[in-house]
Structure 1
Amino acid sequence: MAVQPIIVTPDLDRVQAFYSQVFGAVEVFRHPADGPVFYKTLKIGDGELGLVAEKVDVSAPARIVLSIGVEDVDAALPLVEAAGGRVRGPANDMLWGQRVAHVFDPDGNPVNLTQEL
């Protein structure tokens, strides 16, 4: 059994580029294989992220947060803005043993960058 988050986006290429540039995401599946793409699966580390191309109001508040582990949170932060995302603030060390930074992807979806301390 596995859980796969799926992002619905009006700009599939822009969102895919963000996750590729910041997290090294690699496309492993697309549907349809030819022509305009409706769905893609990206591999990020051991996990997968789905992307669906659909007109959607990206100004609506998000109700889920993606948490993605990285080797170095502080080194990843400059990549976020360079890839079209937004950094909410500096990284912080948490009591449970992680360094965490809160960012937004280009559609405004919240993403936590986490690093084990």
Structure 2
Amino acid sequence: MALIAVDQTITIAMSVKDRHRSADWYKEMLGFETIFQIEEAGWSELQTNTQNVTLGLGEHVQPAPGNCVPVFGIADLDAARAKLEGVGVRFDGPTEVIEGMVKLATFFDPDGNALMLAQNLMPAAA
């Protein structure tokens, strides 16, 4: 049995120099569709052609080439983090909270690969 239960969503997060240009490229080349853009967070998210898999583009002045971080949806990030830390999983700093949007925590597998947990804080659509 798994220590924590991630939901059935995954976001593949990548750093890019110009997320609007990159979003256009992914739309034109692969047929992805923009779900939303959060200007204050420098974030764009696109729906891929795979159900429950999105592509997140985080804007950075100097993105690391070849970077990619799988982001797993989780209902209760704080509880999941406590369980993982309890068995020695290493996290990269404190949990980041973008109020009213998302709670994020980066952690590492045994080989040092970065992974992320994300708890959606956006109000449910009526």
TM-score (norm 1): 0.45
Question: Which has the higher Rg, Structure 1 or Structure 2?
Answer: 2
